[in-house]
Chains A and B, each alone.
Chain A
């Protein structure tokens, strides 16, 4: 990727914004190949899942002690990343932070893709996915799983609405401007633009709706990750049995989500040639935001590990010693250092908040965030209250099997495919919102 920054003082007209944003939607270069690649990966993953269905979860590395493994860690990661939608477009949006306008749609696309796949990942982990409807038929509201199912579906719906509603004016433009679109897509634009012509009344109603949703998604967003943390915190296990898991997970989710957004911003800026819209200023601001959320996360990490580490209660001590100095030390410390401490130190410097350095830092942060979830889920399962005895050797360790890894790769490919398709058929940067912000007049014709 080559990021040749254009001169910053380009004057924007509505025509230019429209062309710049709609161009990548009509230009296919390389896209088919990428989609074919993703579909191939998904097919291989689907085959691995078929093997798992046929032979049972025994094809994974999980056994009676580590009965939640890679899938659950990955599920937590997906839920975490999806929280960026709520952070950017709602919290910052409600605070009337105006620089988020060009990147809020990318944030919503990430949110929709990741939360949708998170819902799927949890089904992939089930021993009897054929009985998934039992959750509706025999659902018990006392179980945190029911809460999780409820809030994840709600979050998916609100996120999808928060993606589509602010896009209505842009889709009205797409309907008119993209002549080469296949008929199905044209129809989609026609339906989703709801005959919007930007009359003052339409504008008022639309923005009222968006604002309502922005308020609604804040508690739902908090809930999805808090409830996900309760899947662990509601048990009596060493390492999970803590009261700060909710906010700790939410803080970690903001870090992971911001990192994912920065990577996506960089990709769209370079590949879609959106340097005039996703500017250095946006990376700079995102860098500062990331430092802020990383500091909050660091604070929670200190609380989560230092306080029990100070006391070294009998159960916790086995667990914490394994994390700090034992077989999990490398993964634990590298996820803390590369995913939290070093990024803070680097990103307080302005030059590390330039697009390329911050994108590279974000890759480390995102990868560390993934491994951090792994460190949260698996070691605890290996340190139960009673000794692990009289079981085969492979019950006492955990390493994901190739089938498990392949199915997990599927989840990533699927999320990327959803993002690719959404970014292909929808303008990734809001045309009308930018024009509004720059004070450019525009008209949307029927």
Chain B
């Protein structure tokens, strides 16, 4: 009986200890583990430990207890589960976009991206010859039939219950199959050391914002899943000065304009303005809806032929 209990407690210890020191590497955890085992036999021995604020302290080995909460694990778990009962959607009113690009810079700030890396990209579009050109902000479409998550060999990119497609850069192997599979070119890759990698290197990874970014992994728009958890609108939505974006919950049939703060019925907005989704013929079932660029608030001031005239 005593044998059994000690076995069980050792198993628990092993389990939680493994989680705690996982980051320190397998080798060190084994040596620590054996040290801890030895400690049970030889009381009074001490061990040097570094506290969170950088102080070296001595602790009796018998006092060693595994940490209860592992922030990374918790973040990973809730990040993969998503927010219950929600079904997030975005509506982009093309008639209001004048290429201010505040969405792009807010997004880059939030997700620690360089100015040439886009989770959201404002494109100059012209559907056919002689049709009217327009600006089209293009985030990840968070498809309900996502071609990208299908092809991922390791379940690093996945769709969660609230509809958001996330990427776990703790697991991504950098094969870039998802980039090849995405018809919307919504994904980027960290080809080199990400921006400010040195500055953020000690930050715990937050899957819902995909920060800190990691070299050799894929990154993408996440609808600012970390902000949604705090009941805030996504960074791009809040940053828009022109009322282009609506964001909300399809289950509640309500979307909120990021500029005016006005909340409207999602179904009514789409119906009255002939909302559509991008390349619906591909069967990807996007969660980003577009309202056509008619009765525009601004003149199209872009130049489809010369990119440099834009800025």
Contacts and interface: CB of A to CB of B under 8 A. Distances in A.
B181 A386 contact: no
B307 A389 contact: yes
A56 interface: yes
Contacts of B177: 143-145, 231
Given A57-B216, A389-B124, A127 B174 contact: yes
Contact of B176 (A67, A237, A395): A67
Interface string B183-224: 111011111110000000000000000000001111000000
B173 A56 contact: no
Contacts of A386: 123, 138, 184-185
A59 B117 CA distance: 17
Interface stretch (A89-97, A128-136, A360-368): A128-136
A3 B124 CA distance: 63
Contacts, number: 141
A64 B113 CA distance: 14
B151 A145 contact: yes
A14 to B, nearest CB: 52
Interface in A203-251: 231-232, 234-237
A138 B156 CA distance: 9
Contact of A139 (B154, B176, B184): B154
Interface in B283-303: 284
B264 interface: no
A277 to B, nearest CB: 44
B254 to A, nearest CB: 29
A132 B175 CA distance: 10
A145 B151 CA distance: 8
Q: Is the interface of B mostly helix, strand, loop or mixed?
A: loop
A381 B180 contact: yes
A125 interface: yes
A65 interface: yes
A374 to B, nearest CB: 16
A203 to B, nearest CB: 44
A99 interface: no
A195 interface: no
Given A132-B173, A134-B171, A56 B152 contact: no
A60 B190 CA distance: 12
Interface residues of B, number: 46
A67 B153 contact: no
Contacts of A131: 154, 171-174
Interface in A111-144: 125-129, 131-132, 134-135, 137-140, 142-144
A122 to B, nearest CB: 8
A55 B192 CA distance: 6
Interface of A (DSSP majority class): loop
Nearest to A238: B183
Contacts of A139: 153-154
A264 B274 CA distance: 64
A139 B171 CA distance: 11
B122 to A, nearest CB: 7
Given A56-B192, A127-B216, A64 B173 contact: no
B81 interface: no
Contacts of A237: 180, 183
Interface in A132-176: 132, 134-135, 137-140, 142-146, 149
Given A126-B173, A128-B173, A145-B175, 7 more contacts: A67-B176, A140-B153, A149-B153, A236-B181, A236-B282, A381-B180, A387-B123
28 contacts: A55-B192, A55-B193, A56-B191, A57-B216, A67-B180, A67-B189, A127-B174, A127-B215, A127-B218, A128-B173, A135-B153, A135-B154, A138-B156, A231-B180, A234-B150, A235-B147, A235-B180, A236-B183, A384-B185, A385-B183, A385-B184, A387-B125, A389-B124, A390-B116, A390-B122, A390-B123, A390-B307, A395-B116
Interface of B: 104, 116-118, 121-125, 138, 147, 150-156, 171-177, 179-181, 183-185, 187-193, 215-218, 279, 282, 284, 307
The 4 closest A-B pairs by CB, nearest first: A127-B174, A127-B216, A58-B191, A58-B192
